[in-house]
Amino acid sequence: MPAVLTTSAREPIAYRVSMAEPASHEYQIEMRVPPLPSRDRVDLVFPAWAPGSYMVRDFVRHVFRLEITDGRGRALAPGAIARVDKQRWRLATGGRAFRVRYRVFAFEATVRTSFLDDSHGYWNGTSLFFYVDGELQRPCEVTVAPARAGWKVATALPAARRRGSGQQLSYAAANFDELADSPFEVGTHALHTFSVGRTRFELALYGRTNADPGRLRDILRRVVTATGRIFGGFPFDRYLFIVHALPVGSGGLEHRASVTMDIAGLSFDDEAGYVRFADLAAHEFFHAWNVKRIHDSALGTSRREDPERVLATPRDGLRAAEPHSVHALDYTRECYTRLLWLYEGCTDYLAHVVMLRAGITRERQFLRMIADDWPKYATRPGRNETSLEELSFEAWIKQYKPSENFTNRSVSYYEKGFWTAMALDLTLRLENGGRRGLPEMIRRLWDRFGRRDRPITDPDVRAAAAAIAGRRLDRFFDRYVRGKNELPLPALLRRAGLNVGARAEWDEDDKPAAERDPVRSRRARAWTGLALHADRTTVRNVIPDSPAWRAGLTFGDEVVAVDGVRTTAATFAKRIADHAPGARVRVAFFRRDQLAEADLTLGQSPERKLSVAVDPKAGVRAQSVRRGWFGVPAAGARPRR
């Protein structure tokens, strides 16, 4: 359980972060804790996870050279330090000040961790800082000593004062929650700024990229403007985008007044690269409300706001100062919730809505996304094995530590949550003629809970949906969120004025006669149900009740031949395609270094294509639902700016 917090006026806990040897990838940290007169013993704790990333990472494994002394740097009395468990030390301090020195190895270039080399430094607070149990609400101050002259510091925390040499800046956090939720970028990043009303936005761009920085800034401006309109303003007066342009992108991690996004820096060869950037930015920025402020008791820090403050419009911005914390997260263990589908699935879906309303994408692109991605989800064997609520709860257990059969028995709460959010949006709009949907439902949760720092519950979510729909939607939630029923998305799309058609993946009848390839179509029909690793012929998955499943092939088998012909990762599918559905083929494979063979009777591919297009014959009500759904003019019209 989170520690009980004290509320008296407090001297801050001071941290100093040095990086004098960046090639070692080690930060040198000093933590100074002021006197705590009422506490003879205290627990010094290192966090185990990063909020927004639901996996215990045991960051303490990167801590070395830990030294705990009194406030003057002298050794504590014998027996005054006892290690309690993997991340907790119990100190007998007699209420006096003490000092902690240690190093953190930082060589994991992700948004969830910390990194240091001779080009830049980046950290998340939970992977760098100890805290004192019971003092999470105490103010914190961080002094940064950059590795090189000329290195800059970017963080959402306000600068406190300059210390020592001109290179050492200090930053103030109201408490450990804010410190942990405010990543730092230190280096030679380029800084780009823009404003929406009186709210300032900053882009700290590190790394090599072929993107146009001005275009990235314009995309961010469009995204934040469209999102601000949904919520009626911004709950901050400054927001920071930290963007790392790396060889491979790894996603983003949200914070209350900032975000870190790792993108593939050289992926902007065409328009698709900018759309992917916009999608990631829209998702992460929406989190500034949904999960960072709209949250349940397990995943949020409750705060009190000044009741005299009034939210402004996006044009005016929101100038209110951040309120003080009255409840802290538990950084030591899993914090289970059944609402991750709301925080992640709905956010993922609404990012596409934001891009539409921002004029970054068009209606036809949105429909093409549905046509391309829905069949992938609708054929996942594990999509209805577990309820969306349970998938949310099990994120800590299965999502990020999946077993080999995860695909067959489960699915990502992001993906299932995305399609459930779309179905909920359409269901809401079908009840009110398209006027209000999921954006308005989230706005209602913001106005009644997030804005007031009140945690939400499942009944609150259902009540918000009922208020938008005009009636209770318990059947929807019981079937598709708490239950395991198949989502009726194609039927909902048709009721929203769209034509929806499905056909076999190998069917080319929709193509002009001159573009059809009967050979390719014929060869695409055979199916085994095997999924191999991309770079080798080792079996990654076998779909239940598929030909390969019935033949006894399983995870880890190394396929070496089909009907006596040697295969590689590049040729296996081709050798299967030499045969028609119903044919019997002999597959040779190694299992634990023993050569074996299996007979497969090939099936016909269940893969499907979907077509989604506006129905020109749709009724007036269906057209109203569709127009309200997109929130933009019909296809072909000039988008709103």
More confident residue, 321 or 629: 629
Residue boundaries of the structural domains of the chain: 13-189, 338-491+617-641, 513-604
Q: Average pLDDT for residues 559-576, to the nearest whole number?
A: 95
Mutual orientation of helices 620-630 and 413-432 as an angle, nearest 10°? 130
Return the residue matching tokens 């030909």.
Answer: 547
Is residue 314 over pLDDT 60?
no
Q: Which distant-in-sequence residues (6+ apart) come within 8 Å of 344 by Cβ?
A: 291, 413, 414, 417
DSSP conformation letters of 393-443: HGGGTTTSS--TTHHHH---HHHHHHHHHHHHHHHHHHHHTTS--HHHHHH
**pLDDT per residue as tens digits for the range 49-69:** 999 999 999 999 999 999 999
- Rounded to an integer, what distance in angstroms lies between the CA atom of residue 524 and that of residue 532? 17
Q: Is the pTM of this model over 0.85?
A: yes
What pLDDT, on a 0 to 100 scale, did the predictor assign at position 312? Answer: 39
Q: Which distant-in-sequence residues (6+ apart) come within 8 Å of 98 by Cβ?
A: 33, 68, 69, 70, 71, 76, 91
What pLDDT, on a 0 to 100 scale, did the predictor assign at position 367? Answer: 97
Q: What fold, for 338-491+617-641?
A: Neutral Protease; domain 2 (1.10.390)
- What is the Cα gyration radius of the chain? 27
How many CA atoms lie within 13 Å of 345's alpha carbon, on the beta-carbon side?
27
- Rounded to an integer, what distance in angstroms lies between the CA atom of residue 2 and that of residue 326? 12
Cα torsion angle, 361, 340, 390, 482, sign: negative
pLDDT band at 133 (very low <50, low <70, confident <90, very high): very high
- Rounded to an integer, what distance in angstroms lies between the CA atom of residue 307 and that of residue 476? 36
What pLDDT, on a 0 to 100 scale, did the predictor assign at position 328? Answer: 63
What pLDDT, on a 0 to 100 scale, did the predictor assign at position 239? Answer: 98
Q: Average pLDDT for residues 486-509, to the nearest whole number?
A: 89
Mean pLDDT rounded to a whole number for the chain: 91
Q: Average pLDDT for residues 263-278, to the nearest whole number?
A: 97
Cα angle value 126/132/135 (rounded, 5°): 105
Among 1-5, 531-535, 586-590, the range with the most confident prediction by mean pLDDT is 586-590
If phi > 0 it is left, if psi is from -120 to 50 it is alpha, else beta; for residue 100 that is: beta
Q: Average pLDDT for residues 392-416, to the nearest whole number?
A: 95
Cα–Cα separations (whole angstroms), residue 335 to 48, 87, 340: 11, 17, 11
CATH class of 13-189: mainly beta
**pLDDT per residue as tens digits for the range 362-380:** 999 999 999 999 999 999 9
What pLDDT, on a 0 to 100 scale, did the predictor assign at position 166? Answer: 53
What pLDDT, on a 0 to 100 scale, did the predictor assign at position 383? Answer: 96
CATH class of 513-604: mainly beta
What pLDDT, on a 0 to 100 scale, did the predictor assign at position 456? Answer: 97
Is residue 632 over pLDDT 60?
no
pLDDT band at 520 (very low <50, low <70, confident <90, very high): confident
Coil, helix or strand for 84?
Answer: strand
- Rounded to an integer, what distance in angstroms lies between the CA atom of residue 227 and that of residue 163? 38
Is residue 467 over pLDDT 70?
yes
- Rounded to an integer, what distance in angstroms lies between the CA atom of residue 336 and that of residue 560? 44
- Rounded to an integer, what distance in angstroms lies between the CA atom of residue 604 and that of residue 526? 5
**pLDDT per residue as tens digits for the range 88-120:** 999 999 999 999 999 999 999 999 999 999 999
Q: Which distant-in-sequence residues (6+ apart) come within 8 Å of 21 by Cβ?
A: none
pLDDT band at 521 (very low <50, low <70, confident <90, very high): confident
What pLDDT, on a 0 to 100 scale, did the predictor assign at position 320? Answer: 35
